[in-house]
A and B are shown apart, each in its own frame.
Chain A
Amino acid sequence: MFKRIQPVDKPVHLVFEEQPITACEGDSVAAALLAAGVTAFRQVARGDALRGPYCMIGNCYECRVEIDGKPNLQACQQRVRDGIQVRLQRGLRKPGERDEP
């Protein structure tokens, strides 16, 4: 859906669902995923519909992902860091899921 019009001068490497992604320092996780062609960020709690970023300013909570095992983080509010493992947020959190990695 989106492409970069500036070259990535300071690359940051992350992984989304086993797919390696090169982002640019200062990117939000949402921008990095969108630039890499990812459209679905989370699966809803009721049913299996997929959602992606809608507002990009931290209001809609549609861009929630799991980062390094920590669920329900807003991808538009998180900055990329080298080596982070990002996953689709699947439904609700389950009882017993840990908060800290």
Chain B
Amino acid sequence: MNPDVVVVGAGPAGISAALALDAAGAGVRIVDEQPRPGGQVYRALEQVSRNRPESLALYGDDYARGLELMTRLSASGVELSPATSVWDISIVDGRLGIGLVCDDRAEIVYPRHILLATGAMERPTPFPGWTLPGVMTVGAAQTLFKESALVPDCRPVIMGTGPLVYLFIRQMLAAGVTPALLLDTAPGHIPVPLWGDLLRAFVSAPKSLLKGVSWLRQIRHAGIDRVTGVGSIEARGDERLESIRYRVDGRTVELNTELLLVHDGVIPNSHLAMAAGCEHRWNRLQGYWQPVLDANGLSTRAGISIAGDSTAIAGADAAACSGRIVGSQLALALDFIDESRHRAETLGDRQRLERIAVTRRFIDRFYRPLEYFQTPLDPDTLVCRCEDVTSGEIQQVAALGCMGPNQGKAFTRCGMGPCMGRQCGNAVSHLFAHCHGKEVDEIGHYRIRSPIKPITVGQLSRLDLD
């Protein structure tokens, strides 16, 4: 049976959208790569609350709040397909089709509409030595903590900035792990032009701001060395990370560590939307591609809507609001509800989104991506982890006249490995922009093609084509 709507991604946006559609009477199937719903933000939440409820407190209040969504999802008529990847979205025989794969079974589903809620991913941070085992993202360590209650068995070094860094450190302190050092890449003080934004953010959401201040105070009291203004970092080691070397205030500091966790903010997970042909535009302030959408969350491709953090980063609460609004809008467009019901059921969420946007404006302007990671100029730094292509090779082909990332593939294979450019895409576009004296949006991004997840011939051969 083909559902009315396939929702991709069972995080706060996807679940909220699916529930809104289900409540309106639409047939909904929600697919997610993880074995359980929740997305990255509520990852393993059901498992934690069932198997070790006493440890829920370690993760903070915001985590447990996601349980309500999961309870409502399992009580609803929404069909959940966990552990399922999407490998294609295309028009097949004039019909909008979405290719799914679960274990060894591939299938193509033909819904009336597709709603993408693919969430966010951490911005990749290329720097010398970032490929050594022992260098991971903060989010990776947090995933291990949520899913398997793993914590570092050493005192890790944390580098980067953004709310997730402070949340993670607070979770580690609760679990008895004290990081040795925080190399904070945010400015040491709030610049004067941002004072107005900060004041408006405080008036709009005093609790969120005070929560942030209390996290910073806890970090200071825990005795974690916090260094601001770090301009560069290098990870060193033979077969794994052994030490780091960073520059601050004109001097070089070297420190032994076996675990370095890096985080430079999150960006929309836009691979699937790009492969489906949805137009994207470059967000200069936060350095990411975001889909071009109309006021109803509809992309430039007919039959495809996008909601939550995969439209622009705003966090879990905003994602849930966005999911409910886009879900309701789809229910309206597919004639399951009328205009007045749609307006009534989305009014509160629209107002809430406006309030969140005020806080977001300050966060986006204060926690800017670090130029050192965005444009990794050190020639030996690997930008493409899959095909082992260095920044120097990209700069070399740019000097030969190669104009951008798509042509660059032919010279270097950069972006052609299994991750399909998810890790190197932004760095490569920045490097071409740098070499040619252009902006990133003039250079463009990789052309993303299906299958966007590797699929075997064996899986394809079992495809049931009617």
A: which residues have CB within 8 A of B?
1-6, 9, 24, 26-28, 31-32, 34-35, 39-41, 44-47, 49-62, 64, 72, 76-77, 79, 99-100
Whole-angstrom distance between the alpha carbons of A6 and B131 in the complex? 29
Provide the residues of chain B in CB contact with A49, threshold 8 Å: 131, 388
| Interface pair B149/A4, CB less than 8 Å apart | yes
B: which residues have CB within 8 A of A?
33, 35, 40, 44, 47, 51-52, 55, 121-122, 124, 131, 133-137, 139-141, 143-144, 147-154, 175-176, 239-240, 258-259, 269, 385-388, 417-419, 422-423, 454, 456-458
Query: Who on chain A is nearest to B262 by CB?
Result: A54
Contact status of A3 and B417, CB under 8 A, knowing A52-B134, A55-B139, A60-B422: no
Closest Cβ of chain B to A1, distance in Å, is: 5
Whole-angstrom distance between the alpha carbons of A67 and B144 in the complex? 20
Whole-angstrom distance between the alpha carbons of A45 and B385 in the complex? 10
Contact status of A3 and B153, CB under 8 A, knowing A28-B147, A31-B147, A61-B386: yes
Provide the residues of chain A in CB contact with B121, threshold 8 Å: 55, 57, 59
Contact status of A72 and B151, CB under 8 A, knowing A6-B55, A60-B385: no
| Interface pair A3/B150, CB less than 8 Å apart | yes
Whole-angstrom distance between the alpha carbons of A59 and B422 in the complex? 7
Provide the residues of chain B in CB contact with A4, threshold 8 Å: 148-150
| Interface pair A61/B418, CB less than 8 Å apart | yes
Question: Of A1, A26, A56, A79, which contacts B137 at CB under 8 A?
Answer: A56
Instruction: List 8 tightest A-B contacts by C-beta distance, closest first.
Output: A52-B133, A56-B140, A3-B153, A31-B148, A39-B133, A6-B149, A56-B143, A46-B388
Q: How many residue-residue contacts, CB under 8 A, span A and B?
A: 129
Query: Who on chain B is nearest to A6 by CB?
Result: B149
Provide the residues of chain B in CB contact with A100, threshold 8 Å: 458
| Interface pair B423/A59, CB less than 8 Å apart | yes
Closest Cβ of chain A to B439, distance in Å, is: 26
| Interface pair B419/A61, CB less than 8 Å apart | yes
What does DSSP make chain B's interface, helix, strand, loop or mixed?
Answer: loop
Identify 28 residue pairs between A and B in the complex whose beta-carbon atoms are under 8 Å apart, listed by A's number.
A2-B153, A3-B152, A3-B153, A5-B55, A6-B52, A6-B55, A27-B147, A28-B147, A28-B148, A31-B147, A34-B150, A39-B134, A39-B240, A45-B388, A51-B131, A51-B133, A52-B136, A53-B136, A53-B140, A54-B131, A54-B135, A54-B136, A56-B140, A57-B121, A59-B121, A64-B418, A72-B418, A99-B457
Question: Of B176, B259, B417, which contacts A1 at CB under 8 A?
Answer: B259
Question: Of A5, A26, A59, which contacts B147 at CB under 8 A?
Answer: A26
| Interface pair A59/B419, CB less than 8 Å apart | yes
| Interface pair A58/B147, CB less than 8 Å apart | no
Closest Cβ of chain A to B157, distance in Å, is: 12
**A1, A9, A27, A39: residue with the most chain B Cβ atoms closer than 10 Å:** A1
Q: A56-B144, A60-B419 are in contact. List 5 more A-B contacts (CB 8 A).
A: A2-B152, A6-B52, A27-B148, A28-B148, A60-B423
Whole-angstrom distance between the alpha carbons of A41 and B175 in the complex? 27
Provide the residues of chain B in CB contact with A50, threshold 8 Å: 133, 239-240
Whole-angstrom distance between the alpha carbons of A52 and B241 in the complex? 11
Query: Who on chain B is nearest to A64 by CB?
Result: B418
Query: Who on chain A is nearest to B154 by CB?
Result: A1
Whole-angstrom distance between the alpha carbons of A3 and B155 in the complex? 12
| Interface pair A57/B259, CB less than 8 Å apart | no
| Interface pair A56/B422, CB less than 8 Å apart | no
Query: Who on chain B is nearest to A54 by CB?
Result: B136
| Interface pair B140/A2, CB less than 8 Å apart | no
Whole-angstrom distance between the alpha carbons of A34 and B133 in the complex? 11
Whole-angstrom distance between the alpha carbons of A49 and B376 in the complex? 20
Closest Cβ of chain B to A21, distance in Å, is: 13
Whole-angstrom distance between the alpha carbons of A61 and B388 in the complex? 13
Provide the residues of chain A in CB contact with B148, threshold 8 Å: 4, 24, 26-28, 31-32, 35
Contact status of A57 and B140, CB under 8 A, knowing A5-B149, A35-B148, A46-B387: yes
Query: Who on chain A is nearest to B120 by CB?
Result: A57
Contact status of A3 and B151, CB under 8 A, knowing A31-B144, A58-B33, A99-B457: yes
Query: Who on chain A is nearest to B58 by CB?
Result: A5
Provide the residues of chain A in CB contact with B35, threshold 8 Å: 79
| Interface pair B240/A34, CB less than 8 Å apart | no
Query: Who on chain A is nearest to B119 by CB?
Result: A57
Query: Who on chain A is nearest to B131 by CB?
Result: A51
Closest Cβ of chain B to A86, distance in Å, is: 16
Provide the residues of chain A in CB contact with B135, threshold 8 Å: 54
**B35, B143, B150: residue with the most chain A Cβ atoms closer than 10 Å:** B150
Provide the residues of chain B in CB contact with A45, threshold 8 Å: 387-388
Provide the residues of chain B in CB contact with A28, threshold 8 Å: 147-148
| Interface pair B147/A55, CB less than 8 Å apart | no
Provide the residues of chain A in CB contact with B269, threshold 8 Å: 59
Provide the residues of chain B in CB contact with A99, threshold 8 Å: 456-458
